[in-house]
Amino acid sequence: MKRPPEELAEKLLAVSDQLSGTDLDISVDDIAKMADVPRATLYYYFSGKEDLISFFLSDKLHRASVAIGKAVAGEGNVVERLENTLAALLKVMMEHPALCTEMPGAIKEAAKYTEVVNEAERVMLAPFRELLIEGKATGELVIEDANTTAIALMGAVNMVAMFQLVQTGTIDLENTTAVLIPQLIQGVVPR
């Protein structure tokens, strides 16, 4: 990918914002028409459709990383920060549905989406893993395998978000945050 000039990038990202969820389904031709750009131009800057999609997802990940980073590095003890980060992830998925609907597909074909998957690992997974490791070190958390647990947490949030998006078209942020996050943190057996 030959990074596109500012003007083109803006047009494309504007289009990608209108495209919630269905990202991977749209045709290059439609993207070109919506952005009012010749199809061939897209192939000049992007090595193919995947590259173009990656560009979209990458942008969303970039925006997401700000919100998540803030939650991770914010005030509070480890548990509070973990809660905030989970909440931030859910919010990010509401604002950028493609992050939750398309990411599993990208992970599945990690070979084709190397870049994006690496970014996603950095933005959506690593923060959890590090919080878990920190919490384990201080004794605030009980973690067997930080990596596996981080993946599990992300997967849980992802699946819940996707179900809601598909069924209702949006995410009930307030209620879901209040219900899901304590459940993940506390587990399902009584204390």
Partner DNA sequence: TCCGGGAATAGACTCGTGTCTAAAGTTGTA
Partner DNA sequence: TACAACTTTAGACACGAGTCTATTCCCGGA
Question: Where do contacts with its own copies occur on this chain (CB under 8 A)?
Answer: 21, 25, 79, 82, 101-102, 104-105, 107-110, 132, 135, 139-145, 148-149, 151-160, 162-163, 166, 176, 179-180, 182-191
Q: Which does 186 bind (CB under 5 to 8 A by kind): DNA, its own copies, none?
A: its own copies
For 7, 14, 38, 143, the CA distances from 35, given in Å and listed in that order, are 11, 8, 9, 47
Q: Which does 36 bind (CB under 5 to 8 A by kind): DNA, its own copies, none?
A: none
| Residue 22 is a binding residue for DNA (CB under 7 A) | no
Q: Which does 132 bind (CB under 5 to 8 A by kind): DNA, its own copies, none?
A: its own copies
Given a contact cutoff of 8 angstroms between Cβ atoms, the answer to whether 101 and 25 are in contact is no
Please identify, using beta-carbon distances, which residue of 173 and 180 lies nearer to its own copies.
Answer: 180
Please identify, using beta-carbon distances, which residue of 14 and 110 lies nearer to its own copies.
Answer: 110
Tokens 């990458």, residue located: 58
List the alpha helices (DSSP H) in the chain: 6-18, 28-35, 39-45, 49-73, 78-95, 97-101, 103-108, 114-120, 126-138, 146-168, 173-186
